[in-house]
Every structure is written in structure tokens, then in C-alpha cells.
Amino acid sequence: MERNQMRRQLALMRQSFFDQGFLDEQFIQLEELQDDANPNFVEEVVTLYYRDSSRLILNIDQALERNPLDFNKLDNYMHQFKGSSTSIGAKKVKAECTQFREYCKAGNSEGCMRTFQQLKKEYAILKRKLEAYFQQARQAGPLETACRSRN
């Protein structure tokens, strides 16, 4: 019973990610890829994403400190970052990436800075949320949380 309760909460939490626009349907695709063969696929992918992207963010941070800004380089980094973000369905982060790239194209350094700050914020929020989610998912039980709650 308690597990059911937890599962419901988990489902609610997950739904809230979609409702609030943190994640998009790509995440569902990820979930679909998860099966008995690799039961923690989503979590693995997300972890991978965070590991990978933290490096990218560092790169971008460094690139932004340089003066004048190398917009080409920034765009390149951001392109990679956007690709990663898209693949896990981090909707808000992706949106910020797009915005960043637009500023890059326009050569608006101030806009870049601002957007990057916003991006980092969104990135951190999502990270926190997903961590909490996976934490709860582990507690709720290994297999049932395979997000079969899709209706």
C-alpha cells in the first residue's frame, strides 16, 4: 500500500515535470528504451548527461571570460550542449540553448552572458529535480517504476 502511495507520488512528480515544461516527449522516448535488460537506463543516461555537460559548461564558462568573445567557439560548444540536452528532453535548458545561439549569431555578448546564467539556473533546477525523482524512484521499487504509468 505504501509502495502504491509512493508510486502515485512518483507519477505525479513526473507529470509535473511535463506540466511545468521541464521535460518534453524525448524523455518519454528515453523511458521507452528502458526495459528489463537495462533497468536503470534513464537514470544512467541522465547521469551521463550531467557528467558530460558539466564539462561543456566549464568550457563555455572559460570561453565567456575571454575578451573579445569567440562567438564561433561558443556556438560550437552550445551546439553540443544543445544536442545533449535535446536527447534527454530537457525542454527548458534546450530553449535557453537556442536563445544563446541566437545571441551568438547576433554577436550580442551581453545577451549571451545573461542567457548563460539563466541556462545554468535551469540546468541546476532540472538536476535537482531529476535527482530527487530518481531517488524516490529507487525507493519506490526497482521494476515497477519503469514508468509504465503512461496512459
Partner 1 sequence: MLLPTALIPCWYSMISHVERQVNLNSHDFHSKLQYEIENTTKFLHPINSSATNLARVLKLSLNGTKLSFSMIETKVAPPLFQAWSTIPYLSQISYTGLEGLFFSYYTGQNQTLAVYSNSSYNSRSSAPNVKKNFNCYIQHVNHETGELYGNSIECPPLNLVSKRWFQEALNSTNGYASLEIGWNNSQDLTLLSSARINGEGVISLGFSAKVLTARFTSIDRQGGSLYLATKDGKVLIEELKDTHMVLTGNMVSVQLKKPNGEQKVLGNVSCIIKDGSPRASTLNIQGTEYMLYCSSLDMVGVQLVYVLAFPQKGLVSLVRKNRTVALALLIVIITSMVVSILSFAYIFIRAAKREMHLCAALIKQMEATQQAERKSMNKSLAFASASHDVRASLAGLTGLIEMCYEEANPGSELETNLRQMDTCAKDLLGLLNSILDTSKMEAGKMQLEEEEFDLAQLLEDVVDLYHPIGIKKGVDVVLDPYDGSAIKFSQVKGDRGKLKQILCNLLSNAVKFTCEGHVTVRTWVRKPSLQNSIIASNRNGLMKYLQCLFHKSNEAYNDLEAMNAAQQDPNAMEFVFEVDDTGKGIPKEKQMSVFENYVQVKETALGQGGTGLGLGIVQSLVRLMHGDISIVDKEMGEKGTCFRFNVILSTCENVSCNIAKAEDLEMVDGSHTPELILSTPSPGLWLHTPSSKLTVHTTPSPKVTTSHVVLLIQNKERRRTSQRFMENLRIKVSVAKQWEHLPSTLQKIKHKENHSRHNSSGKSDLSSPSGCLSRSASNNSSGVEKDVPLSSMDGSDYILSIFKRTTPKFASSFILIVIDASAGPFLELCRIVAEFKKGLHNATCKVVWLEKPMMRNIDFKHIEEDLVDPNDVVISKPFHGSRLYQVVRLLPEFGGTLQGNSSKLKEEIKFQAEKVPKDPSSSRSKPRSPPSNGIPPKEQEIQEIGNSNDEKPLSGKKLLVADDNVLLRKLTIASLLKLGATAETCVNGQEALDLVCKGLSDQRKLGASKILPYNYVLMDCEMPVMNGYEATKQIRKMEKSYGVHIPIIALTAHTSGGEANVAIEAGMDVHLGKPLKKEHLLEAIRYIDTK
Q: Of 56 and 69, which has the nearer Cβ to partner 1? A: 56
The residues facing 33 across adjacent strands are none
Least distance CB 32 / partner 1 (angstroms): 7
CB of 124 to partner 1, least distance (A): 18
Minimal distance in Å, beta carbon 46 to partner 1?
9
Q: Which CB atom, from 33 or from 132, has the smaller least distance to partner 1?
A: 33
Q: Which of residues 41 and 109 has its CB atom nearest to partner 1 in the complex?
A: 41
Question: Terminus-to-terminus CA distance in the chain, angstroms?
Answer: 21
Strand partners, 85: none
List of residues contacting partner 1 (CB under 8 A): 26, 29-30, 32-33, 35, 37-38, 41, 44-45, 48-49, 52, 79-80, 82-84, 86-88
Cβ distance to partner 1 smaller for residue 52 or 61? 52
CB of 143 to partner 1, least distance (A): 16
